[in-house]
Structure 1
């Protein structure tokens, strides 16, 4: 990878890694979604999420070529309509906007090809909107920073395993990139290309939004630098640095391998500010919100 490609990759990935979490936080501040009756998040919920993450790559690889874009289109359409119902209440207007966006994604891929900037901008818009929606459904629904920190740490171990011991990551990326509705964001211009996975963006948005819910501005000041430095810059510059040091340049450094440990340490640092705010604490008037001193040493259960 040339120096120009490395700089391009770092710049584009940093832009997406910053824009999507900030979009999720803005949505969190402005839009309320109905909370599902799931109770409080616990270890079982994390296990279910990890099971879904483990099964998804095998599902992608098992689907016939013609079925994959159909499944991805249905998943994207469902995610968009659920997440943006509170934003666009009129069904006809909301579905018209969703179908127009998905049609732009699909037709630009078929007519202009997988290297078209138009296709990648359209696809990145779809992916970013879905990540913003999914983030808020989880964070406003009760998922806490503690849950997300552990989930991201497990995700980092998963990515490391499937990038080294069981080399599935590259196969999955190759299988998906040739179709419309790729679950990734990025931009290709000529020989320059940069792609960041939807799962990575979801991890960054979940961590940032939950940190903001839990600790306000302090959470945001902690989360965003971690996302940019360890989620976007480190994975981009690590391969050439490793190649320069060892003489062997790895083809892929999974982003979560860099981000997950940093995010978990960031969570431990934020814990020193006191117990996490719950959603009802965040929504309460400022004068009624509990301070760390009022809350005491015991962290709330929900």
Structure 2
């Protein structure tokens, strides 16, 4: 399989850019707290079940219906991402965020319907990038902890391995959404073998550095972001060298590294900062004392 090395390099750059934008958003924009309270282990379990069941449901729908569902979800995600950002300006946040989200969604759909796949792909990528920035910030600012992020990564790693390697679930889903607008992937090229990263992979690549920053500070965030970038670049290099030729479940490499980072930080610190403590600018948790009781995760 011939893969453009420049496209592979651009994919790593795109992942780094989305992560940097999400970090800047976290530092400057306060999202309204949703009325569901803070995250618990039960919430993570429900989320994992949804991730597993959703592709099975989507493969039973026509491709056009799947595109419509993802288009609606992206439109809503872009709207709630832009609303807090525009609230800091003199513009009326709600009308302008809705107008921008609807315009971006409509322009992407129109490009696809009029036979401009490159424009449709670019529009989808932009919507996905904005949505990932918003969702990662919403989860982080709503109280998702490093423990929860690591548990989510571990569960999705197992699912990704089964769905991609041991069964054809991911392959069938990819064939259904390939080259359609709003496909759940950040794709720089089209065709049967696109240079792309899946939506779930991208979300965890962006999410964990934000959670690490809140829980353990800037050094932990930089380590998480660089680890994700190195994993993405290493997989891209394997494709460029011909060592990989089919879709690779990125989370099988990224997920364990997220868990290892969490366990390392957890052993070094006596607990992790909550969202309230992070907002107040509380100092990082002190080093864990040998044999001391630790704050529950």
What TM-score do the two structures reach when normalised by structure 1?
0.86
Alignment-derived partner of residue 97 in structure 1: 100
Residue 295 (structure 2) pairs with residue 292 (structure 1):
no
Q: Secondary structure at the match of 1:185?
A: strand
Distance 1:258 1:169 in 2: 17
1:20-35 aligned within 5 A: 20-35=18-33
Q: Kindly report structure 1 stretches of 4+ aligned residues shifted beyond 6 Å.
A: 189-192
Quote the offset at 1:7 in angstroms. 2.5
In structure 2, the residue matched to 1:8 is: 6
Is 1:260 equivalent to 2:255 in the alignment? yes
Alignment gaps of 5+ in structure 1: none
Counterpart in the other structure of 1:281: 277
2:132 pairs with 1:136? no
CA distance in 2, matches of 1:294, 1:281: 18
Q: Taking structure 1 as reference, are residues 219 and 196 closer, same or farther at Cα in structure 2, changes over 3 Å only?
A: same
Q: Could you say which residue in structure 2 is the equivalent of 1:236?
A: 236
Q: Give the direction of change, closer, same or farther, for the CA distance of 1:111–1:299 in structure 2 (3 Å limit).
A: farther
1:53-96 deviation digits (Å, cap 9, x = unpaired): 00111122112233222212211111122232212242221122
Following TM superposition, by how much is the alpha carbon of 1:193 offset from its aligned partner in structure 2, in angstroms?
Answer: 4.2
Q: Deviations over 1:171-218 (max 9, x none)?
A: 111111232111111212899941111111111111111011112211
Unaligned runs of 5+ in 2: none
Picking from 255, 265, 287, the partner of 1:270 is 265
Larger deviation, residues 122-131 vs 276-285: 276-285
Asked whether the 8 Å contact 1:109–1:119 carries over to 2, the reply is yes
Compute the displacement of 1:269 (Å). Answer: 2.2
Q: Does 2:190 align with 1:181?
A: no
CA distance in 1 between counterparts of 2:159 and 2:230 reads 21
Counterparts of 2:265 and 2:10, CA distance in 1: 28
For each residue in 1:98-146, what CA deviation from the matched residue of structure 2 results, as whole angstroms up to 9, or x when unmatched?
A: 12211221122233443x1x33222111001001111111111010111
* Residue 112 (structure 2) aligned to one of 109, 113, 116: 109
Give 1:30 deviation, angstroms. 0.7
TM-score, normalization: structure 2? 0.88
